[in-house]
Structure 1
């Protein structure tokens, strides 16, 4: 009888301990899954924001590139008075709007992109644009007799376009959503 009583006492003591241990283990497993899900959600949210920032840079940068490929030779042929008049044309207004959208998008991307490589690539675009007025437009306005300044300007715009394409390629590689595992 003593053995049965001892066994009953042991079971009555061990049973709540085992139940509590099982409950704690289940809670830990649930919390770990929840933490993992929260991390995955945060990563997905970060990638989504980064993609939006990159797209905001890509669209006006490409639009500006296309416009400048057409306008650069025209600017080379314009007189000072033509340039003054150009500012108020529909194309001049459109150019300013594109430049403003592009500059705002680049600034936002440089400040808010979480990926350092993409931020650096956007920084290279910004550097090019900082140098652009002196390096490209200066010679276009000053040397109206040397067609080579137009070729150099178009080459610079092509290099900018390549950097924009690199940004897109890198963003696709870095920000594509990973495949979700089957449940």
Structure 2
């Protein structure tokens, strides 16, 4: 075979390799771009969830600041009448929004310090009736329980503020130390109607 033949063959081979390399690089770039777009979309969903927790959490706390002193002066009949009022319905709506946001956080927020803070907030809200409202009602003559209740609400508000301030630097980040550990937030809302990953109830 002549030198011209080998030269042509090698040139063809190198052209084919270059073409394949170009395709591989293009596909790799497209894949990285797609992954980046998915990550940014996820962060956007996470930001929306955090915003809803903060907004509903503030509304919930402001209502509890009124409710804690008020409930200390109510008897059973007063409570039954209050349950039929627009104010009671509004409080229930805020609580529902907050709980839905907590359930979404279970789906979209990875394990780590941010999710731990959200779990603390969720547990606080879930146990508030038994740990705060119950003792206030059982000790109507003792205003100290009202003070303790208001302090608890203030602590919730401060925790909520701290979570919101730190959230932007921790979105989408999972702490390796928490990987594989039981998810307390998921256990807390076990049995609550599921929320799809599109953010709508199912």
Q: Smaller-chain TM-score range? A: 0.7 to 0.9
Aligned residue-pair number: 171
Which of 39, 44, 47 is the matching residue for 1:48?
44
- Runs of 4+ in structure 1 off by over 3 angstroms are none
Q: Does the alignment pair 1:73 with 2:72?
A: no
1:1-183 equivalence runs, <5 A:
6-110=2-106, 112-117=107-112, 118-175=114-171
* Structure of larger gyration radius: 1
Structure 2 unmatched runs, 5+: 173-202
Partner of 2:198: none
Provide the alpha-carbon RMSD of the alignment.
1.9
Structure 1 unmatched runs, 5+: 177-183
Distance 2:121 2:19 in 1: 56
Contact 2:102 2:118 (8 Å CA) reproduced: yes
Contact 2:109 2:171 (8 Å CA) reproduced: no
Quote the offset at 1:44 in angstroms: 0.8
Quote the offset at 1:8 in angstroms: 1.8
Contact 1:113 1:119 (8 Å CA) reproduced: no
Distance 2:137 2:148 in 1: 13
What do residues 105-125 of structure 1 show as CA deviations (whole Å, max 9, x unaligned)?
Answer: 212322x12321233222111
What do residues 62-87 of structure 1 show as CA deviations (whole Å, max 9, x unaligned)?
Answer: 11101111221111122332222111
Q: 58-67 vs 7-16, which deviates more? A: 7-16
TM (norm. structure 2) is 0.77
Distance 1:6 1:106 in 2: 75
Distance 2:23 2:88 in 1: 64
Distance 1:91 1:18 in 2: 77
Contact 1:46 1:114 (8 Å CA) reproduced: no
Distance 2:75 2:109 in 1: 45
Distance 2:136 2:78 in 1: 14
What do residues 20-77 of structure 1 show as CA deviations (whole Å, max 9, x unaligned)?
Answer: 0111111121122112112211211211122222223222111110111122111112
Distance 1:85 1:42 in 2: 50
Quote the offset at 1:10 in angstroms: 2.4
